[in-house]
Each structure stands twice: as C-alpha cells, then as structure tokens.
Structure 1
C-alpha cells in the first residue's frame, strides 16, 4: 500500500504556499510605506484557503484572480498612500506565526510517517 504525501500534509501545503504569497504582498506594502499614492494590498487568507480547498487543492493563485484586495486605511495620508506601518507590521508578524504553525504541523506529520515506517 502506497502513501500519498499530498493526503498526508493536506491543507498545510496549500496554507504554506498561501502564507508565502501573503508575505510577499505584506513585504511590498512595508517597502512602499513612504511611496506617495501607493495602495496597500492584502490577501484574505481564510477565503483564499477555502477557495483552494473547494477546488481540490489545485494550487494557490494570487494576483489578477481576485485574491488581492486593497487595504482600507484607518488614517488616510495626504499623499494618497494607504500603508500604515503598525498595521502592516502586525499583519506581517501574524502571518509569520501562521506560517510557522503550518510548518510545525507538516513536520509532525512527516515525523509520524517516519515512525510508522520504522515500526515504532
């Protein structure tokens, strides 16, 4: 009987890929904190993961597929930039914790598989 690694790590592989994409978006926001007219973007992680799972795990796609959203600022700036440093830093940190959590679950799954193969 073969082991399907895709089934073993299930949602966590898609979550890791989606978190990596969100990291890129948030890093871009942070890099453009002082760029006049820059519009902060973000990914709705829960909705995106739900879409990927309902499509049978066909992969994560961002960009023009409607996954990226504009962030509405709490305090709009005079130059039209919608990046708020504190908000972006908090989102980045929260995303990093989520990435680490998913990675830990994947590691635990592989450790369990290794123990099962070794007969422990």
Structure 2
C-alpha cells in the first residue's frame, strides 16, 4: 500500500505498509526483511521515517492506517510501539497519508516540526 526510502543513517532501507496490517523494514542491498511491526487493526496506507527525537532515539518510524491510528515505532528496541495518535472517528474516518512538515514560527530563530496527516473523509490535520 505504501513505501518510503530511508535517508541518513537509515540509507539503504525501505519501509513498507501493507494490507496485511503490518509495517516492514527492508534492507535494499540484500533484499531481505529486517523487521516487521504489528499492531494496526487494518490496512497500513502510509509509512514515514520520523525526524522526531523520542527518548534520545532518532530511529523512529510512523505508520498511518485504515484503523484510524498513527503509530510510532522504535526500530532499535525490538519493535517497540512508542505512541499512538487516534484520528477523530466522526471527522476523519481513516488515516490515508502522512508527511512531516517544518512550520516557520514568527520568531526567526525557531521552527516547529509537525506531522501532517490526511484522512479518508477529507480533513487534513497537523499534529505537533
């Protein structure tokens, strides 16, 4: 359902989201699966490498699903799920796309990193 190519220290990896409800991390060079992340209750429509630093860890990925959740996963600690964001059941319906965006603040020295997501019923939301 979705793929994303890694960068920086996760170069040569690909994330995939599937209709089997899983998120998988692949090694491009060997073509082999590195890890599988389970927890979604429905199709995984979107995957993204997260630039957020969570508990001093830069190796976080996130996934958006038809189950109306966004899940954050730690790829270094044995598939730990770090956090879940639940979409608004009435207004969103399902999560279908994710994108990290940098929003400029009025102050020239600070920017905010936010997660933008699109939903099946139309609303686009910004979290962060």
The verdict on a shared fold, with TM-score over 0.5 as the criterion, is no
TM-score range, shorter chain: under 0.3
Report which structure shows greater RCO (CA 8 Å, sep ≥6).
Answer: 1
Provide TM-score, normalisation by structure 2.
0.24
Which has the higher Rg, Structure 1 or Structure 2?
A: 1
Normalized per residue, which structure has more helix? 1
Normalized per residue, which structure has more strand? 2
Provide TM-score, normalisation by structure 1.
0.25
